[in-house]
Amino acid sequence: MAPKSRETFGSRMGMLLAMAGSAIGLGNIWRFPYTLGQNGGAAFLLLYVLMLVLICLPVMISEYLLGRRGGSNPFRTFDILAPGTKWRWIGFMAVLSSACILSFYCVVGGWSVKYLADACSGVLMSFDGDYSDLFGSFISNPWKPLFYTLVFLGITGLIIALGVRKGIERMSKLMIKVLFLIIVLVVIRSLTLPGAMEGVRYMFVPDFSKVTADTCIAAMGQAFFSLSIGCGCILTYASYVDKKENIAASSAWIAFFDTTFAIVAGLAIIPAVYAIALMNGVNPNVSAGPGLVFITLPGVFKAMPLGGVAALLFFLALLLAAITSAISLMEVVVAFIIEELRRSRVHAVVTCFLLCGGVGVFCSLSFGPLEGFKLFGLSVFDFFDYITSNIMLPAGGLLLAVFAGWRLKRANYLDELTNSGNLNIPRWLSLTIYYLLKLVAPLAISLIFINCILS
């Protein structure tokens, strides 16, 4: 049995900031700018926004709705809503997806701890050689990145051990505010560099020749990853939410906040990369892949006035964003262990630390001693990144939408969405959301999958 009294968020603001904290993370600052760079800039952005409205928002609303109605961890939620059926295994898959994401997420989290430490000590800005050598020798070292990965996971575990209100809510509230302030400062610095407007143009003028089946799956994967949907995070947080919350409005607010942040993070990075490249008379390289933030940016910071301060602020922002997301991933696994395996919170945190840290070790070593070891042609790190974002999250989202649209009765869906009729949501709007999640989202996700398999 689940414990009788579960913790809840203390305030509406705390809940919104915790969910936004989950959504805003490495996905926005580290993954979004380079995925945008690799997929044709503004054309990708347009596709991304389209996926967001037609697929991700309805899926997010269903995940939120199911979490609040079930009031438990993902596994039990499906058991409560469809007792004795196999649907509970979707819940289990969600828990597994979260654990898999956390396992590679903590490696990049560890890199941000290291870069922040180097920015603070001045090592980063006083480095004279090629930043790709610095990054390469760090991530291929067998021990150093492991140490930082475990430090990052340890910080995440400590916050989770404090509980929903004292840990997740309090930390998210504080960190998100600081994060916004910092990123605005870095954007101002970036946009005031001569030549920065070239980068802005790149972000907002579409090049449709770059759009392929892979671009679609990349945009969908990025949108799922960025919104933290499809793996039980929103569902778990929603189980700590007051019954009076307006689900549709909160979801829309979080999606808007997250997308705005991704664009703002792009504006902090891409124009600066353009400006410095123009200054040095070289081609701007915004499609540098995962190294964009760790290789290209330090060079950019070094070349610009006040770059040391900008670097410090930037890597602090990166770390804060990573922590608020990592805690939401860990909470999914921890809630499952507490409620299904009946362990204490601390016990659950330690188990999760060992489990995800263990897999994280392999992800980290895949840049060094295990470089030659491939799973389906991908390194361990890339394998976890690819299958979680591009397959497990959209598949989880598809099943969640199918459950909410086809298994949950329409009357129950409307009852939950309108808080038993207490919310004045126009009927056309609740029905539009309903049909988006019942028909459009599952169909669109399936088509994108099929298109990618066939291409």
Of 261 and 353, nearer to ligand PFF (C-beta) is 261
- Contacts with ligand PFF, 181-200, as mask; x by CB under 6 A: --------------------
Residue found under tokens 């088509």: 447
Cβ count within 10 A of residue 423: 15
Q: What is the spatial distance between Cα 352 and Cα 329, in angstroms, rounded to a whole number? A: 10
Of 320 and 329, nearer to ligand PFF (C-beta) is 329
Of 177 and 342, nearer to ligand PFF (C-beta) is 177
By CB under 6 A, the residues from 85 to 104 that bind ligand PFF are 98, 101
By CB under 6 A, the residues from 379 to 418 that bind ligand PFF are none
Of 196 and 218, nearer to ligand PFF (C-beta) is 218
Of 96 and 247, nearer to ligand PFF (C-beta) is 96
Cβ count within 10 A of residue 67: 25
CB 295 within 8 A of CB 286: no
Phi, psi of 206 (to 5 degrees): -75, 145
For ligand PFF, the binding residue among 328, 364, 390, 430 (CB under 6 A) is 328
Which one-letter amino acid corresponds to residue 141? Answer: N
- If one asks whether residue 23 binds ligand PFF (CB under 6 A), the answer comes out as yes
Q: What is the spatial distance between Cα 69 and Cα 75, in angstroms, rounded to a whole number? A: 13
Give the HSE-up count for residue 52: Cα atoms under 13 Å, Cβ half-sphere. 23
By CB under 6 A, the residues from 202 to 241 that bind ligand PFF are 225-226, 228, 231, 233
- If one asks whether residue 27 binds ligand PFF (CB under 6 A), the answer comes out as yes
Task: Tell me which DSSP letter residue 289 carries.
Answer: G
Q: Which residue is nearest to ligand PFF (CB)?
A: 27
What one-character-per-residue DSSP string does 317-348 give?
HHHHHHHHHHHHHHHHHHHHHHHHS---HHHH
- If one asks whether residue 109 binds ligand PFF (CB under 6 A), the answer comes out as no
CB 367 within 8 A of CB 139: yes
Can you read off the two tokens belonging to residue 33? 């700018």
- What angle (nearest 5°) sits at the alpha carbon of residue 378, between those of residues 377 and 383? 130
Can you read off the two tokens belonging to residue 323? 């922590």
By CB under 6 A, the residues from 3 to 22 that bind ligand PFF are 22
For ligand PFF, the binding residue among 18, 26, 45, 66 (CB under 6 A) is 26
What number of chain residues touch ligand PFF (CB under 6 A)? Answer: 16
Q: What is the spatial distance between Cα 427 and Cα 392, in angstroms, rounded to a whole number? A: 33
Of 196 and 254, nearer to ligand PFF (C-beta) is 254
CB 32 within 8 A of CB 262: yes
Shortest distance (Å) from residue 304 CB to ligand PFF: 26
Shortest distance (Å) from residue 22 CB to ligand PFF: 5
Q: Please report the beta strands in 51-142, taking only residues with DSSP state E, as ranges in sequence order.
A: none
Q: Which stretch binds ligand PFF (CB under 6 A): 6-14, 168-176, 265-273, 324-332?
A: 324-332
Shortest distance (Å) from residue 170 CB to ligand PFF: 19
Shortest distance (Å) from residue 106 CB to ligand PFF: 12
Sign of CA dihedral 299, 305, 308, 309: negative
- If one asks whether residue 325 binds ligand PFF (CB under 6 A), the answer comes out as yes
Given the rule CB under 6 A, which residues bind ligand PFF?
A: 22-23, 25-28, 98, 101, 225-226, 228, 231, 233, 325, 328-329
